[in-house]
Amino acid sequence: MGDEIVKFEKAGVQPFGVNPAGVADHAGYAKNMGFNFPLLSDPDRAIAAAYHALKEDGTSIQRSVYVVRSDGTIAFAQRGAPPVDEIVAALDAGAPGGSRAG
């Protein structure tokens, strides 16, 4: 994960994760996974719903990646775990990223 974080930092991106688990659970999870970025707790799944990351059952979450520019526009959106280079390229190109996640 370290190489990916460096790529994000060079692009001026602060990555973070959103997960429905509680804050107390995140510390252990982040340590076990080797995450070196913040995790936000979304127990009521409001963030997941707002970003159309809920599966059809309305409770399960589909991994999704969004890059939100400082002006609030979406620079990149995709379900799954796209390569970091693809995410950064969307920023470099100034591309809107389409609506592949939603």
pLDDT tens digits for the chain (102 residues)?
A: 567 888 888 888 888 889 898 888 888 888 888 888 888 999 999 999 999 999 999 889 999 999 888 888 888 899 999 999 999 888 776 644 444 444
Q: How far apart are CA 44 and CA 31, in angstroms?
A: 23
**Helix, strand, coil percent values for the chain (each to nearest 5):** 35, 20, 45
Question: Angle 84-93/2-10 helices, nearest 10 degrees?
Answer: 0
Q: What distance separates the 2 farthest-apart alpha carbons in the chain?
A: 38
How far apart are alpha carbons 102 and 47 in whole angstroms?
13
Q: Model-level pTM?
A: 0.74
DSSP letter (8 states) at residue 64 = E
